[in-house]
Amino acid sequence: MRCGVEIGNARACPLCGIKNPANNPKSFPPLLESEKACVENEEGGANFLGDVAKSVNITPDEGRKIAWEVLTVAFVIAIAILLSINLLISGGLSWSLYPVSSFLFIWICATALLALPHRKKLGFCLIAIAVPAYLVALGLITRNFSWAWRLALPIAIFTELNAAALALAIGLLKRKGLNVFACVFAAIALECIGLEIFIDLFLFGGIRLGWSTITAIALGPISGFLLYLHVRVVKTTNLRRLFKL
């Protein structure tokens, strides 16, 4: 039945009074607007609150807002407990700063995804700023800022710029196909070279390219071949004639 009660072969539901559709399929009265909304929400996919959201007709935006609020309250409680325990046991703040900084980083990312669903550019910028800020905070907490400033921060910024360039390149493609994979492989090769450069500068004070060049040499021809297939074969050749289909 509509109310969720199994009535078997009974004539009507003892809870809501609706007649059994098994006896008369047309006995259901028309759905009310609120019931239609619940059915549409139910067919739309999973919600953070599950069956509760379906029963009270929670929209996806409202569900994200509730999820963000619950997450915020949970993190505030967890942070307060960690800081209190650290102060009571050690008489100061020490080890609690590590999980607290991690909670704050996760909260910022969650805020970008849950609280700003319709402002994606602002959300991505917030996450892009949160990553290097988190690494800098870890460097300050460990009182060894060298690795954060000279290694972690450059790698994080380079990776974000590389990912942004990849997303921009894919977005500018008029016809997407194998050329998307070509861009991805090229970005991976560039990322490997950048990683080794920053690691070499941090460890040796100079650039000694090794494994990254091997990776780039392996990915370069693959990227070029995929681009060739997209431009020449897929665009200008009859594939049925080419593969004798």
pLDDT of 71 reads 92
What parts of the chain have a pLDDT lower than 50? 1, 25, 27, 34-46
Q: Look at residue 60 in the predicted model and tell me its pLDDT.
A: 82
Percent share of the chain, pLDDT over 90: 48
The pLDDT assigned to 101 comes to: 94
Q: Give pLDDT, residue 158.
A: 95
Query: HEC profile for the chain?
Result: CCCCCCCCCCCECCCCCCECCCCCHHHCCCCCHHHHHHHHHHHCCCCCCCHHHHHHCCCHHHHHHHHHHHHHHHHHHHHHHHHHHHHHHHCCCCCCHHHHHHHHHHHHHHHHHHHCCCCHHHHHHHHHHHHHHHHHHHHHHHCCHHHHHHHHHHHHHHHHHHHHHHHHHHHHCCCCCHHHHHHHHHHHHHHHHHHHHHHHHHHCCCCCCCHHHHHHHHHHHHHHHHHHHHHHHHHHCCHHHHCCC
State pTM to two decimals.
0.64
Output the pLDDT for position 117. Answer: 80
Torsion angle of the four alpha carbons 99, 104, 106, 109, in this order, in degrees rounded to the nearest 10: -160
- State the pLDDT at residue 21: 63
- What is the C-alpha separation between 112 and 115, in angstroms, rounded? 6
**pLDDT for residue 42:** 45
pLDDT of residue 130: 93
